[in-house]
Structures are given as structure tokens and as C-alpha cells.
Amino acid sequence: MYILSYCEKEDKVYKIASVLYTLKSYFLCILYLDVNKKYLQADSLLLYALIFLKKDDKKQALKFIRKAREKDQYWKKLIELENLYT
């Protein structure tokens, strides 16, 4: 927790959400990301997409992949995922 106190808010949101994702607390992860929407970066939006892919909702996952691409147009993993699910 010491490290989190010296991170930018955007990074804190991603780190906490990724811990929830790793613990397979998908509902809590989505809830936490929803509460902190104004701080979402491409990596946080990718977490949304990964959760929807686990739920086999490719349409929603693609929506969040595209939102993440708007934030980071050159991230190769996002480009690959968008090409895979379009």
C-alpha cells in the first residue's frame, strides 16, 4: 500500500482493479472501474474487455477494446485483439 500512495490516481485505479481481476472478483472489478470512470486509461479499459471475454460477450469486449485504442492507438496487443474480434 505504500507504493500506491505515491502513484498517480490513474495508476492506482488500474493496480487495484487488476488485483480484483486476479482474484477473479470480476463484479467488484467492474464496480470499482465504474466508480472511477474519469481515471480510466487504456490498461483499465482492457480489464473491462478481458472480463467480458471471460463471460463470452465479444460485442461488449470489442467495445472496450476500441475505447482503449482511442486512449492508446499504438498498443500492439489492442490492435491484435481488435483484429481478432472484428
**What is the domain-level CATH number for residue 34?**
1.25.40.10
50 within some domain: yes
57 within some domain: yes
C-alpha to C-alpha distance for 72 and 64, rounded to whole angstroms:
12
2 within some domain: no
Answer whether 0.85 is exceeded by the pTM: yes
Query: Is the distance from CB of 64 to CB of 48 less than 8 angstroms?
Result: yes
Each residue's pLDDT tens digit, 31-86: 999 999 999 999 999 999 999 999 999 999 999 999 999 999 999 999 999 999 88
1 within some domain: no
55 within some domain: yes
62 within some domain: yes
As for how many domains the chain has, the answer is 1
Q: What single-letter amino acid sits at 21? A: Y
